[in-house]
Amino acid sequence: MLTLKNIHKQYQDSPLLRDIHLKVDRAETLCLLGPSGSGKSTLLRIIAGLEQPEQGKVLWQGEDITEKPSHLRNFGFMFQNYALFPHMTVAENIAFGLRMKGKPDGKIGERVEEVLDLVHMLDFLDRSVTALSGGEQQRVALARAIAPEPALLLLDEPVGSLDRTLRERLLTELREVLHKLETPVIYVTHDQEEAFSIADRLAVLHNASIIQAGSPAEVYTFPGTLWLAGFLGFQNQVEGTVRSLDPLTIETRFGMLRTDQNCQHEFKENARVRLIIKPDGAVLSDCSGGVNCLEAEVEDSLFSGDRYRVKFKMTGGSQFIFFAESKPEVGEKIPLKIMGESILCYKDENGN
């Protein structure tokens, strides 16, 4: 359905998007994830036709639409600031796309009510948009985008400006709505929790490229680069040297660590690597020494809803964060059992 080939875009003097390839060929929700400034919104706008790439093609159902004006693409777009037309009511906003398509009035009214119902906003039919709350505006914006039955739906950080509880609630609703539609959706966000909860597939943007694409589970289980691991919140990082290859065992200054993960890279013995230990990968145990057993001193712990987020001071001084079921005493020295599947290994950029 949608194919992006070789998309290049410059911003001032450096590349914003470099050789981007992307494909969406069924009714799935693809999430473009990346930090602010990574070009994901620009990529979305290029797909929408609101911006032009310097190089590359956008193909839809095989047709090259790179130069096709936005208003002829029949793509729906939901803006970060909603961009509701302030001089029109809710109903008029939603009806706009249908009017532009030339649909008869009767049909327009029906459809407007249909989509408003979908987003649970039927009561707001004749309200002025300027007095709506954030959540209400977001839903109207969504309804407006889907009312003309677009072939592709583009969402640019749709819940970005909402507060947390609202965001979660609306995400759930959004997921419902998107599932009901049988339209491919491209969803842009910088928030990985959001991305994971809504996407069928993820594409992560960093340094002008897509560094990993896959299902949320795939990406979360093994983030493709060190940077991505950091982006996803995996901060526990340590250097090490490969001691044996099968299973991959690495010596670090905390101790020996053995990983169950397919590290996706051919490491040689004595290679320098960097390891990430996921925060949910440690268990308070009474292991003593040996592989995957580290000792750490509790620095601080924070209650986090269903568990504790504990700061540990590791041997050598670095700070690691692990989740724990129970609250440990500050200052306690605790042995931690590290799960093999929670150890991710990456090339050490400085050496190997």
Partner 1 sequence: MKSDWKKIGRITLVVIPLIFLIIFYFYPIWEIASVTLRRLDPDWMKDIPWGIISDAAGFTVFQAVLSTVLTLVLGLPAAYLFGTYRFRGKNLLKILTTIPFILPTVVVAAGFNALIGPRGWLNLLFMGLFNLAQPLINLQNSLAAILIAHVFYNTSIVIRVVGGALEQMDPNLEMAARMLGASRWKTFRNISLPLLLPSVVSALLLVFLFDFTSFGVILMLGGPRFSTLEVEIYIQTVQFLNLPLAGILSFLQLFFSMAIAFLVMRSGGQFIAPIVPHVKSERLRSPEKPGEKIFLALMAAVLIILLVFPLLGLALRSFLSVETTRAGQVTAWNFTFDFYLSLFENTRASIFYVPPVEALRNSLIFASASSILAILLGFMLSAGIRGVKRFDRIVELLILLPLGTSAVTLGLGFFSAFSRAAASLRYYPLLIPAAHTLIALPFVMRVIRPAMESIPESLKDAAKMLGASPFEVWKYIELPLILRAVITSLIYSFTISLGEFGATSFLARPELPTLPIAIFRYLNLPGGNNYGQAMAMAVIILAVCALSIFMLERLQFRKAENDRMNGHAHT
Given the rule CB under 8 A, which residues bind partner 1? Answer: 48-50, 52, 67, 69-77, 79, 81, 83-87, 89, 96-97, 100-101, 126-128, 130-131, 144-145, 148, 154
Nearer to partner 1, 144 or 206 (CB): 144
Least distance in angstroms from the C-beta of 109 to partner 1: 14
Exposed e or buried b for every residue in 1-37, given b needs 16+ CB within 10 A? bbbbbebebeeeeeebbbebebebeeebbbbbbbeee
Nearest approach in angstroms of CB 135 to partner 1 is 16
Could you tell me the smallest distance in angstroms from the CB atom of residue 111 to partner 1? 13
- Residue number, 93 or 252, with CB nearest to partner 1: 93
Minimum CB distance to partner 1 smaller for 134 or for 340: 134
Identity of the residue, 186 or 273, whose beta carbon is nearer to partner 1 in the bound complex: 186
To partner 1, the closest distance from the beta carbon of 83 in angstroms equals 4
CB of 92 to partner 1, least distance (A): 10
Nearest CB to partner 1, comparing residues 73 and 274: 73
Give the nearest distance from C-beta 52 to partner 1 in angstroms. Answer: 7
* Residue 220 near residue 212 (C-beta atoms within 8 A): no
CB of 70 to partner 1, least distance (A): 4
C-beta closer to partner 1: residue 47 or 213: 47
- For partner 1, the closer CB: 91 or 118: 91
